[in-house]
Amino acid sequence: MSDSKTPLLDELEKGKWPSFVKDLKKLAQRSPKAKDLLGQLELSYKDKMTHWKHGGIVGVKGYGGGVIGRFSDAGDQFPGAAHFHTVRVNQPSGWFYTSTALRELMDIWDKYGSGIVNMHGSTGDLILLGVDTDNLEPLFTDLSNADWDLGGSGSDARTPSCCLGPARCEFACYDTLALTYDITMTYQDELHRPFFPYKWKFKMAGCPNDCVASIARSDFSIIGIWRDNIRIDQDEIKKYADSGLNIAADVVNKCPKNCVEWDGKALKIDDEGCSKCMHCINVMPKALRPGEDKGACILIGAKAPIVEGAQLSSVLVPFMKLEPPYDELKSLIRRIWDFWDEFGKARERIGECIQRIGLGNFLEKVGLDPVPQMVLQPRDNPYIFYEEYFEEE
């Protein structure tokens, strides 16, 4: 008979994929909090049920967000898990690190918390899992002196995140890292002190491939795009063809807009008809590149199902140039927040608020002109709320 206290979890030590159980069991030898977390998780595996209580309000002085209270309902049995709060640390743009910085951060974390982290949370933060209430202030002091700050939580601007963009991707149509840093710094107050109707997420993607799922996961999606022609290097096209790529099958026939032509010698693109979907560029990155007149499409309103059903973001500004200091973008954000402040209901995301009020009315309130790019098609029902009518004199 094995005397292991976690027989169920031990099963997850097997297999090809890295095992968090193996890793955390090792940690448990020096971290009582990690040990009790595993104990409680084993209990959940046995009971098929969570043993976390509803979050309580904890935090650090002067901040309304960044810390999420977490208390165990099995704290008697697992005292180390009794308080197990989450601290969201605002990640650097693009999730770039040096080992020196990560080591310093881990040393601070080991001093005050369980030693367990998430690289990274769904919104993008580096997550520290498992600290007692009493250790929150000293942890925060050390973090801030090592140049780290907290991210968002609750009804505030959540930590903005972005793809690695121009740092290592030839497709980037604007500087996602710079914009993310700028937005994060500009809205520190909105990030740390929740006074929105509900959460607000920014995600910056450098091109329509959208590697950060901004169209699905952010209230305000900034997705890079270009306006002019795809740049073609015919020599490289030939090399792709010579190396065995079937350009007719894999590029021409897959173009959703039927706008690529290939006669075996040269590739032609009808850029007027191109939807900038990225497919041809993804297949032949050496030969094709986005154009040079670059910027971003701004979309609004994505969210998961709760409450009124899931939504994808929809187009607000089909194309905007994005250069520092980003005045046009920030003015738009401010107008939308002012609108939301006036019309939003508690726990209603901006996407739901726009659905309730109507996109047309929303545009009027934030001072944007309606353009056909905002919809897939005009309405197909005649229930129009005309705002004016004539009367006999």
Binding partner of 373, given another protein, ligand SF4, none, CB within 5-8 angstroms per partner class: none
* CB of 273 vs another protein, minimal distance in Å: 15
83: which DSSP letter? Answer: B
DSSP string, 257-284: T--EEE-SS-EEE-TTT-----HHHHH-
**Residue 216 binding target from ligand SF4, another protein, none, CB below 5 to 8 Å by type:** another protein
Q: What residue 5 binds from another protein, ligand SF4, none (CB within 5 to 8 A, per partner kind)? A: none
For residue 295, the minimal CB distance to another protein (Å) is 14
Contact flag: residue 252 with ligand SF4 (CB under 6 A): no
Instruction: Please confirm whether the linkage preceding 325 is cis (ω < 30° from 0).
Output: yes
Select the binding partner of residue 166 from another protein, ligand SF4, none (C-beta < 5 to 8 A, by kind). Answer: another protein
DSSP 212: T
Residues near ligand SF4 (CB under 6 A), total: 25
Encoded amino acid at 73, one letter: D
3-state secondary structure of 81: helix
54 binds, among ligand SF4, another protein, none (CB under 5 to 8 A by kind): another protein
Taking CB within 5 to 8 Å according to partner kind, which of another protein, ligand SF4, none is near residue 269?
A: ligand SF4
Count of other CB atoms within 10 angstroms of residue 212: 24
Over the range 297-333, which residues count as b (16 or more CB within 10 Å of their CB) and which as e?
Answer: bbbbbbbeeeeeeebebbbbbbebebeeebeebeebb
Q: What is the distance between the alpha carbons of residues 155 and 389, in angstroms, rounded to a whole number? A: 41
Q: Is 135 within 8 Å of 105 (Cβ atoms)?
A: no
Tell me whether residue 302 or residue 366 sits nearer to another protein (CB atom): 302
Q: Which is nearer to ligand SF4, 8 or 252 (CB)?
A: 252
Q: Say if residue 120 is preceded by a cis peptide, omega within 30 of 0.
A: yes
**Residue 171 binding ligand SF4, by CB under 6 A:** yes
DSSP type of residue 336: H
SS3 289: strand
Which entry of ligand SF4, another protein, none binds 220, CB below 5 to 8 A by partner kind?
none
Q: Please, which of residues 187-216 interact with ligand SF4 by CB under 6 A? A: 205-207, 209-211
Residue whose CB is less far from another protein, 118 or 373: 118
- Smallest gap, in angstroms, from Cβ of residue 212 to ligand SF4? 7
Residues 349-388 that bind ligand SF4 (CB under 6 A): none
Return d(Cα 60, Cα 212) in angstroms, integer: 29
By CB under 6 A, the residues from 270 to 329 that bind ligand SF4 are 274-280
The distance of closest approach from Cβ of residue 390 to another protein in the complex, given in angstroms and rounded to an integer, is: 35
Binding site for ligand SF4 (CB under 6 A): 163-165, 169, 171-172, 205-207, 209-211, 255-257, 259-260, 269, 274-280
